[in-house]
């Protein structure tokens, strides 16, 4: 049996924070100053900008310098691992979550960085460069916002809940499904929002601002870091069948725990 790979959590946290600062400087420099916007493939809902690319390059360079053996899964450049590496640790990076918001000058965007070790997310971090917010969690260590502990809400029912969701980039192809879910939740919840950054949405569940978040058809970099932050803040994260969260699942329901079963019922009607 192979020995488990040890993790230097203090060093990993330090590097994650450094990467957030570097990416944030780039994004703030480009915010409301973009001159060109590109589209990924034929999907004119899926944007990419020079800010995405520069932020990702800066973040990856910092991680590679500190941990040359670790794998990296990044939104724009895909999955990479140094030749010959046997590391079971992978960094999961979204250098700009909320690109559509960013491209239109809306400040609700973020950087999302997580660390997955032996298949489990062990560190989650999300920064909101324009809002001055930094969310962080280490597995077993609780969750914080700008260094202060956060907890999910204690709202007891969906009727009193503020819920947030997102429409993935395949929303035009699956509009009937997503709109049916929207209507079902809208009819039960106190309020329903769609703001455009899954990473922030999850962190706001962790901070007790939202009581539930749901979305599907996303990728590990969209929600793995934020999902850990929710769990460490006392919340519950599953797919729509109630199965425990893992980074590769394609559905995510995150709640304060109190309204989780109600949300599962509404989403599966």
Under CATH, which number does the domain 9-149 receive? 3.30.540.10
CB 123 within 8 A of CB 12: yes
Where exactly are the structural domains of the chain?
9-149, 158-267
Query: Do 9-149 and 158-267 fold alike per CATH?
Result: no
**Alpha carbons 132 and 269: distance in angstroms, whole number:** 39
Distance of CA 197 to the CA centre of its chain: 8
pLDDT for the residue 40 = 66
Give, in words, the CATH class of 158-267: alpha beta
**This prediction's pTM:** 0.93
**Alpha carbons 124 and 206: distance in angstroms, whole number:** 12
Regions of the chain with pLDDT less than 70: 1-3, 40-46, 83
Q: In the structure encoding, which two tokens stand for residue 62, read together?
A: 């910092």
**Alpha carbons 250 and 268: distance in angstroms, whole number:** 15
Q: In the structure encoding, which two tokens stand for residue 203, read together?
A: 């962190």
Chain position carrying tokens 């489990």: 120
Give the helix/strand (H/E) hosting 80: strand 78-80
């Amino acid at each position: 049996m192979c020995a488990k790979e040890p993790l230097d959590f203090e060093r990993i946290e330090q590097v994650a924070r450094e990467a957030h600062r570097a990416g944030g400087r780039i994004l703030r420099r480009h915010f409301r100053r973009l001159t060109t916007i590109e589209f990924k493939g034929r999907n004119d809902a899926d944007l990419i900008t020079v800010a995405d690319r520069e932020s990702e390059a800066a973040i990856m360079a910092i991680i590679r310098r500190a941990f040359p053996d670790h794998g990296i899964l990044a939104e724009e450049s895909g999955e990479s691992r140094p030749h010959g590496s046997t590391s079971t640790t992978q960094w999961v990076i979204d250098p700009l979550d909320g690109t559509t918001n960013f491209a239109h000058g809306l400040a609700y965007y973020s950087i999302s960085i997580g660390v997955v070790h032996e298949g489990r997310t062990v560190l989650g971090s999300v920064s909101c460069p324009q809002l001055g917010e930094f969310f962080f969690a280490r597995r077993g260590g609780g969750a914080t916002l700008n260094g202060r502990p956060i907890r999910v809400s204690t709202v007891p029912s969906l009727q009193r809940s503020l819920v947030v969701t997102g429409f993935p980039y395949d929303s035009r192809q699956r509009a009937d499904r997503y709109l049916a879910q929207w209507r079902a939740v809208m009819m039960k919840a106190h309020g329903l929002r769609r703001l455009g950054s899954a990473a922030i949405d999850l962190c706001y569940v962790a901070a007790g601002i939202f009581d539930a978040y749901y979305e599907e058809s996303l990728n590990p970099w969209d929600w793995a870091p934020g999902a850990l932050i929710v769990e460490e803040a006392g919340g519950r994260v599953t797919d729509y069948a109630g199965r425990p969260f893992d980074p590769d699942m394609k559905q995510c329901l995150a709640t304060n725990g109190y309204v989780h079963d109600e949300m599962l019922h509404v989403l599966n009607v």
